[in-house]
Structure 1
Amino acid sequence: MRIWMKAAATTATALALGGIGAGIANAEPSGAPAAGAHPHHPGEHVEFSKNTKKHGTVTVDLQRGVVTAVNGSAVTVKSKDGYSQTYTLTPTTHVRKDKQKSQDSAVVVGDRIGIAAWADGGPLDARWVRDHGAAPAQPAPSAPITPAPSGS
């Protein structure tokens, strides 16, 4: 009888702890992602440090947004949250447009892009650009609805 009670207590403890673990695993994150953000990419602009074999520790600047200006090799990107940054496209920048290798000149105003650059204190030289083509047109603001005159 005593062995059975010990086994039951052990099983109950394991189930309780398993329930807590499942609760933690299924818990909502404390900070909700920005409205409209992709679940795996919670922000429109982020910087982080990365250790590389070739260059040591580098700071990487990532941004998603729409190209608002192109001036020679300089590209200005504006995110939905209003953040705007200018990047330089260099001969070593890897550009992909519509899922294919492309040229710097393929990046044009109005394109939706994701861009990565090394933020080393100097100009932001783009390392990678993923161009998704023209941004969808914004819907025109609708006219207010005017109520019908009374007595109609």
Structure 2
Amino acid sequence: MRFPTRALGIAAVSAALLSVGVSPAMAEDGHVRARVQTFPSGGDSGGTSEADLNFTAARSVTYNNWTINDTCPGDGYRVIARARALLTNGSYANGAWHEDDGTCESAQWGPYSGRELNTSYNIVKAGIQVCVDLGSSLKCESEFRDNPHT
């Protein structure tokens, strides 16, 4: 019996992917980390926020091992962060602000797990936004991951 070479190649690749457990959700769930620097010249002052994202549906994402950290040397500004998602209608859904409520020497906020962001529109991508609160304005950076359910 003759088996076409092309079909054999497709079968081999499919079997290899199944054996390592690759799925669309695994490819998109994962870690995000955003860093903001207080001063344009760089340096270490500012803050970071990071989390592990788990997309549970087209309109839902769970944040695990989420932290916010004010980085040294101290600049005297507080660091805040929130969950953020780009929706299919072009707008953003935002979670509540959380802060590392101390100086750069204080313990970080978190890690917290099981924090959910649920929306009324499908989520295109989700992540975190971290900001230095300069008083009259915010200086922010964001990092996102694509939602495999949309």
Instruction: Provide the TM-score with structure 2 as the length reference.
Output: 0.30
Query: Higher relative contact order at CA 8 Å, sep ≥6: structure 1 or structure 2?
Result: 2
Q: When the two structures are superposed, what TM-score results if normalisation uses the length of structure 1?
A: 0.30
Task: Give the structure with the larger strand fraction.
Answer: 2
Larger Cα Rg: Structure 1 or Structure 2?
A: 1
